[in-house]
Amino acid sequence: MGRNKLNSLFRFNGMLIKKTKRFHITTDSKHGFYKSPNRIKELEITHAEQVFVADITYIKTDSGHTYLALVTDLYSKKIMGWSYSDKMPAEIVIHALKMAKRNAIHHEKEIIHHSDRGIQYCCSAFSEYAEKKRIHFKHYPTI
């Protein structure tokens, strides 16, 4: 008996083990903060430091989950800034963006910041910092 036939037999008899979720949700997009319009939909990306793309991912450790916030240049794919924490407050993304701005060569140019609709990217602390540094927002929808 082959693998497929054996799986069918197990499934028919209710003997398969149900798979568990192997992911951790890091985006809370159901919040009351302002969500910016799509500024890069029709934009042609022509040079580095034109658009920064940001996201948070989790890293599973023996003591639980930790979080890594990354800011990447869309044109060059270079990681411009990062921050690592065992929590997911707004400070983690602000710290990553500060590092990205310090690592930027063209400090006088305005940058579009592209992120998901996570609360960390829409809260007032992050918005105020980004506006002060002439960074424009674009939030992409969560998949």
Give the model's pLDDT for residue 139: 45
Q: What is the pLDDT of residues 66-75, one digit of tens each?
A: 889 999 999 9
Give the model's pLDDT for residue 26: 53
CA distances to 13, 16, 70, 141 from 9, in Å: 6, 9, 46, 41
What average pLDDT score do residues 6-19 get? 82
Q: What is the pLDDT of residues 52-85, one digit of tens each?
A: 999 888 888 888 888 899 999 999 999 999 999 9
Domain ranges of the chain: 20-139
Token pair 């240049």 is at which residue? Answer: 73
**CATH of the domain spanning 20-139:** 3.30.420.10
CA distances to 9, 15, 29, 87, 117 from 122, in Å: 50, 46, 9, 17, 7
Compare 32 and 60 and report the one with higher pLDDT. Answer: 60
Give the model's pLDDT for residue 85: 92
Give the model's pLDDT for residue 80: 95
Give the model's pLDDT for residue 39: 65
Q: What is the DSSP letter of 109?
A: S
- Is 100 in contact with 76 (CB distance < 8 Å)? no
**Range scoring the smallest mean pLDDT among 10-24, 28-42, 73-87:** 28-42
Tokens of residue 60, six digits: 């599973």
pLDDT over 50 (residue 142): no
